[in-house]
């Protein structure tokens, strides 16, 4: 058995919110129960989203991610 720490970026275009995203991740039925994720840390940032947002562009997404979450 291996334990993986995973950090993911979720763009919440439907304004689902932290609690529901955590519930979705933890309660989804994965094939063969191959993973059983537990959300240990969740950080939320507010952004004004638009098609050309730096997180939405391959050329700038990594730099914008680092800028937004550098203190995390």
Q: Across the chain, how many H-helices and E-strands are there?
A: 2, 0
C-alpha dist (Å) from residue 67 to 26, 30, 70: 28, 33, 5
Res 72 pLDDT > 70: no
> Does residue 36 lie within any of the structural domains?
yes
Residue 1 has pLDDT above 80, yes or no: no
CB atoms within 10 A of CB 57: 11
Task: Check whether 60 has a pLDDT greater than 70.
Answer: yes
Q: Report if residue 37 sits inside a domain.
A: yes
Total tally of structural domains belonging to the chain? 1
Q: Is 22 within 8 Å of 39 (Cβ atoms)?
A: yes
Query: Is 56 inside a domain boundary?
Result: yes
Q: Give the mean pLDDT of the chain.
A: 91
- Structural domain for 26, as ranges: 18-68
When pLDDT is averaged across residues 5-19 and rounded to a whole number, the result is 90
Report if residue 1 sits inside a domain. Answer: no
pTM: 0.72
pLDDT tens string 17-33: 999 999 999 999 999 98
Higher-scoring residue by pLDDT: 19, 3: 19
Q: Is 8 contained in some domain?
A: no
Q: Is residue 7 part of a domain?
A: no
């Amino acid at each position: 058995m291996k334990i993986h720490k995973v950090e993911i970026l979720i763009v919440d275009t439907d304004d689902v919110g932290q609690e529901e995203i955590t519930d979705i991740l933890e309660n989804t039925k994965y094939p063969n129960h191959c993973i059983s994720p537990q959300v240990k840390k969740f950080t939320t940032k507010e952004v004004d989203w638009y098609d050309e947002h730096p997180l939405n562009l391959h050329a700038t997404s990594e730099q914008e991610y680092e800028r937004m979450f550098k203190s995390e």
